[in-house]
Amino acid sequence: MMSAYLSRRTRVKICGFTQAEDAACAVALGADALGLVFHGPSPRNVSVAQAGAIASAVPAFVTVVGLFVDADQAWVREICGSVRIDLLQFHGEESPEYCAGFGRPYIKALRMKPGVDVGTEARRYAGAAGLLLDAYQPGEPGGTGMTFDWGRAEAVCALPLILAGGLTPANVKEALETARPYAVDVSSGVEGERKGMKDHDKMAAFLREVYEFDHARRDSAL
């Protein structure tokens, strides 16, 4: 009988879409989840109309993630009422009570500043569907293109861990080898010249690297 380990594959979320054709490409390449940023100051911020055009073209079984940073609750509700959002992602200082207040599954981002303990935060956000670990850059809430010490993500924790921050096709295998997360999340590392515009070749290369990592690990376990 095949063990859970043998059937294991790394999920991939690509974040920060602003163009429907980039999102369609990510789906065709096999991405598991697409992130839409609802945060005005971000260069990847999308309007309701843009988000609707992207989300409505996403097929069943691919997750549309709505990302917010310390947003007004009414704004989160308004987006959820206007756009298909399957999963919420909170990227600021939101409390567990705030995150749970929308009656939807959510993931909580942790910016890995010194002293942040993944196990402690996992207990705090026990109701989350996953914990996303991102780099800490003062004054920048996310999408920084910066990495952090992936060894800190090896923590034993009851929640699925999503590794983010500065991942690229060139470093994602090493990151997977070190941290062994449930999923990886990438934004800048698959962009071209402009933030929010995804490079289709980079997205393909990123997904290929993850696929190759999973297959090599599975083969070595046989």
Interacting residue ranges for ligand LARABZUK, rule: CB under 6 A: 15-16, 35, 37, 39, 42, 44, 67, 69, 91, 134, 141-145, 164-167, 185-189
CB-nearer residue toward ligand LARABZUK: 128 or 156 = 128
Q: Which is nearer to ligand LARABZUK, 2 or 138 (CB)?
A: 138
End-to-end Cα distance, the chain: 12
Nearer to ligand LARABZUK, 5 or 40 (CB): 40
How far apart are alpha carbons 56 and 54 in whole angstroms?
6
Q: How far is the CB of 144 from ligand LARABZUK (least distance, A)?
A: 5
What pairs with residue 111 in β-bridges?
A: 134
Neighbour count for residue 125 (Cβ, 10 Å): 22
Judged by beta carbon, residue 13 or residue 213, the one nearer ligand LARABZUK is 13
CB of 218 to ligand LARABZUK, least distance (A): 26
Show which residues are catalytic.
Answer: 15, 134
The radius of gyration of the chain from alpha carbons, rounded to an integer in Å, stands at 17
H helices, E strands: number in the chain: 8, 8
Min dist CB 92 to ligand LARABZUK, Å, is 8
Rounded to a whole number of angstroms, the minimum distance from the CB of residue 95 to ligand LARABZUK is: 17
| Placement of tokens 């090493």 in the chain | 174
Nearest distance from residue 87's CB to ligand LARABZUK, in Å?
12
What's the burial of 59, exposed, middle or buried (CB within 10 Å: 0-12/13-18/19+)?
A: exposed
Instruction: Give the Å distances, CA to CA, from 88 to 69, 109, 155, 159, 206.
Output: 11, 11, 23, 16, 24
- Residue 200 vs 218, nearer CB to ligand LARABZUK: 200
Q: From CA 42, how far away is CA 197, in angstroms rounded?
A: 13
